[in-house]
Amino acid sequence: MKNTSPHACGAWQLLVQFFFTQRAHLPLLAAELQLSPAQCHMLHLIEPGRPIPMGQLAETLACDASNVTGLVDRLESRGLVRRRPSAADRRVKVLDLTPTGSRLRALLLDRMTTPPATLGRLSVREQRTLVRILTRLLE
Amino acid sequence: MKNTSPHACGAWQLLVQFFFTQRAHLPLLAAELQLSPAQCHMLHLIEPGRPIPMGQLAETLACDASNVTGLVDRLESRGLVRRRPSAADRRVKVLDLTPTGSRLRALLLDRMTTPPATLGRLSVREQRTLVRILTRLLE
DNA sequence: CCTGATACTTGATGATGTCAACGTTTGATT
DNA sequence: AATCAAACGTTGACATCATCAAGTATCAGG
């Protein structure tokens, strides 16, 4: 099958390599913002002005719902997030960023998406190619 | 500065996106092998036949040394890893995979590096380009 | 109404991760 | 040679992350 061509495997291995590298860097980056890696992941998923049900977070994180409860408890106690009952279904609670949370999220994304020096080694043309390919890859 | 060109930022944002997606998938993949995400990370770092000091693992994982102690305790109690005193320096303990650990690691890497269907959407030429670019990116 | 399913919470438990303190070993200084 | 500071790994205390089982409240269909 075409998915297991040598080049496809090689590319994916490199992406996995990248994943583990980032996984090791995240705790350091998170600590600078007084956050844990899990909280960074949460903050990344809650877009400002786009309230999201807790259940959907649990599904995206592929974790138990009770885990989300605890994570939101801590984020809420720090004033980063608000819990609101949904108007449509009073079982679901919808999360939204507070202004503080929104600012912290922006800071986090800024730190995370500031490209490392190694990206400067690519030509602009290669950078554009990389964007095009990754876009197709991630849908 | 050239690092913050729009294309470089865009590319890095996509890679961060990829990172969080994988971060959500890892627990599921790990559970199939009766491992935790952290244990997967450890196993990924210990190459068969290449003993590695615990301190080096702590540095690569950017975590406290005592954390490595606990992780290795569990891996060792499951017979995946061996602790040996280093001949050169009796303070350091060197880790090596057992045959069982080596097999499990191979299984893990196989699952992780099996490219998803979306990679099939790229042409072979694009796959090759991706490999070339990522290689430069990750050193 | 019931009844079952869904959404979230709670409590118990284990794994992950940090910090401070400790014992051992090492290397350099004196 | 004796000492002393630094390095390596371990231990214990503690917070967080994560799962499971059980519970409460709400919804939707019969």
Give the residue from chain A lying closest to B44, CA to CA. A20
Please give, rounded to a whole number of angstroms, the shortest distance from the CA of A106 to a CA of chain B.
13
pLDDT digits (tens, 9 = 90+) for A111-122: 988 777 777 788
Question: What is the C-alpha separation between A120 and B76, in angstroms, rounded?
Answer: 42
Gap from A60 CA to C8 C1', Å = 16
Total H helices, total E strands in chain B: 6, 3
Strand D reaches within 7 A of the A33 CB = no
* Nucleic strand C within 7 A of Cβ B36: yes
Q: Which residues 17-46 in chain B have a CB closer than 7 A to strand D?
A: 27, 37
d(CA B35, CA B68): 15
Rounded to 5 degrees, φ, ψ at B81 are -145, 150
Check whether B57 has a pLDDT greater than 90: yes
Cβ distance A16 to B41 less than 8 Å, yes or no, reads no
**SS3 assignment, position B33:** coil
CB contact under 8 A, A44 and B20: yes
Nucleic strand C within 7 A of Cβ A65 = yes
Of A9, A21, A120, the CB nearest to B2: A120
pTM for this model (two decimals): 0.90
Contact A115 B25 (CB under 8 A): no
Give residue B46's identity as a one-letter amino acid code.
I
Which residues in chain A touch residue B112, judged by CB atoms under 8 angstroms apart?
Answer: 16
Q: In the prediction, which pLDDT does A12 show?
A: 83
Residue B94 three-state SS: strand
Q: What is the pLDDT of residues B99-131, one digit of tens each?
A: 999 999 999 999 988 777 777 788 888 888 988
By C-alpha distance, which of A94, A47, A38 is closest to A67? A38
Instruction: Note the pLDDT of residue B109.
Output: 93
Kindly determine whether residue B7 and residue A131, on different chains, have CB atoms separated by under 8 Å.
yes
Report the pLDDT value the prediction gives residue B81, as an integer from 0 to 100. Answer: 98
- Is pLDDT larger for residue B64 or for residue A136? B64
- Taking CA–CA distances from B9, the nearest residue in chain A reads A115
Question: What is the distance between the alpha carbons of residues A54 and A72, in angstroms, rounded to a whole number?
Answer: 9
Q: Tell me the average pLDDT across A22-29.
A: 94
3-state SS assignment for residue A52: strand
pLDDT mean over A14-38: 94
Is residue A61 within 8 A of residue A68, CB to CB? The reply is yes
Interval A66-103: pLDDT, tens: 999 999 999 999 999 999 999 999 999 999 999 999 99
* pLDDT tens readout for residues B13-56: 888 988 999 999 999 999 999 999 999 999 999 999 999 999 99
**Chain A: nearest CA to B85, how far in angstroms?**
26
Preferred mutation among A67, A126, A139 to probe B, highest tally of B CBs within 10 A: A126
